[in-house]
Amino acid sequence: MKTNSIIILLLLVMVSGFAQQDSQYTHYMYNTININPAYAGNRGVTSIFGLHRTQWVGLDGAPTTNAFSIHSPIQNSRLGIGVSFVNDKIGASDQNNIAADVSYTIPTSEEYDLSFGIKVSADLLNVDYTKLNRYDLNNPKFQNNIDNAFSPNVGAGVYYHSDKLYLGFSVPNFLSVKHFDDNDSSAFKERLHYYLMGGYVFDVSPSVKLKPSVLTKMVSGAPLQVDVAANVLLQEKFSLGLSWRWDAAATAMAGIQITDGLLVGYSYDFDTNSLKNYNSGSHEIFLRFELFNIQKRIITPRFF
């Protein structure tokens, strides 16, 4: 327990002293709109997505993330729109983010489209210092909680895609924002995150598809993060996959297409660094529901 408390203290020091990092997702390939606004409306249907992530189970104050989004193309236009909500909890902090996305798609050939997107977001940050073990109650940094510290932001992205391939680059938040408490004695700073992602679908056989994918996240003042994944789609219904997060975790993923419009997925992350000694892994579950197809039908189900 003493060791766990030390680790949580270090986590909180990183959060309060350096940066509020963007949410961590294992299923980034299904949750693309939270990373790249150019994805809005890209699936050709109204897509509703919900996700719950419990990270580092067994570690007091470890991160918990809940995300919800809905996006859709606008019929008879090249526009797509979407909204999303993300709640992040870690230790004494509770952060809520709501965003609106708009995309515009340009056909570049018979098979490929290029989409541009803009994200406008609002962030509310709460920090309850009474949840911490404060050894110096007179320290001005812990005298006043942070209550609904508001900060607006704007981001953008591009997304190049066909039915088989996708490449994307995005910066969800252009503004580097500092949140100060009432004494202006401590700050929560949000740094720019740069995302580069890509994937390709290989038809191994009529009933088997293989999709390797990669997500690279670059943040000033933090190590480069690279997620490499490979998913197999069987009979256009069952998916199985493995993922590796560079110097951080290995992941097993599974999903099932329950109906044409309902997809459910789960993943388990096992830490490969020193944190593995202090937690029992991370769990992530998502549900995607799609409806109101503006096309007559989708000839082949999209794997991303």
User: Amino acid identity of 184?
Assistant: D
Mean pLDDT (whole number) for 154-183: 84
Average the pLDDT over 178-199 and give the result: 68
Segment 41-63, tens digit of pLDDT: 999 899 999 999 999 998 888 89
Q: Which CATH number fits domain 2-291: 2.170.120.30, 3.30.70.1350, 2.40.160.40, 3.40.50.1110?
A: 2.40.160.40
Q: What is the reported pLDDT for 154? A: 96
Whole-number average pLDDT of the chain: 84
Taking 80 as the threshold, does the pLDDT of residue 134 lie above it?
A: no
Please say if the pLDDT value at position 4 is more than 50. no
Spans of all domains in the chain: 2-291
* Lookup: tokens for 260: 């044409």
**Could you write out the three-class secondary structure of 148-213?**
EEEEEEEEEEEEEECCCEEEEEEECCCCCEEEECCCCCCEEEECCEEEEEEEECEEEECCEEEEEE
CA distance 256 to 264: 6
Compute the distance between CA of residue 81 and CA of residue 71 in angstroms, rounded to an integer: 6
Tens digit of pLDDT for each residue in 239-275?
999 999 988 899 999 999 999 889 999 999 999 988 8
Among the residue ranges 7-11, 116-120, 143-147, the one predicted with the least confidence is 7-11
Q: What is the secondary structure of 257-297 as a DSSP string?
A: EEETTEEEEEEEEEE-SGGGGS---EEEEEEEEEE--SSS-
> 140 falls in which pLDDT band (50, 70, 90)?
low
pTM: 0.84
Burial of 4-28, coded b for 16+ CB within 10 Å and e otherwise, reads: beebbeebbeebbeebbbbbbbbbb
* The predicted structure's pLDDT at residue 13: 41
